[in-house]
Amino acid sequence: MASSTGLDAAIKAAMGGNISGALSTIQTQSLANKNKIIGTLGAAFVGKMIAKGFGRQQLAKLGPLVIRA
């Protein structure tokens, strides 16, 4: 996620006193890589749902739908 948002370059710019440039870098990189960021967050959400369900033999629950192992 940090590389997708250009966080390393933004921190370097902010440490150099260029706060505006740092925020601009984060905004530009986030918009350019939004599909990658959304995919990462989606995969993390699904992984969390699956891991949460292992203890109770339920893989996922979304509203009234339940997926059991």
**Do 45 and 57 form a contact (C-beta atoms < 8 A)?**
no
Mean pLDDT of 40-64: 77
**Do 57 and 18 form a contact (C-beta atoms < 8 A)?**
no
- The pTM of this model reads 0.58
**Do 33 and 3 form a contact (C-beta atoms < 8 A)?**
no
Domain limits, the chain: 1-32, 42-69
- pLDDT single digits (tens) 33-51: 899 989 988 998 888 877 7
**Do 48 and 16 form a contact (C-beta atoms < 8 A)?**
no
Using the predicted structure, report yes or no on whether residue 23 has a pLDDT greater than 80. Answer: yes
Q: Where are the alpha helices (DSSP H) in the chain?
A: 7-15, 19-32, 34-53
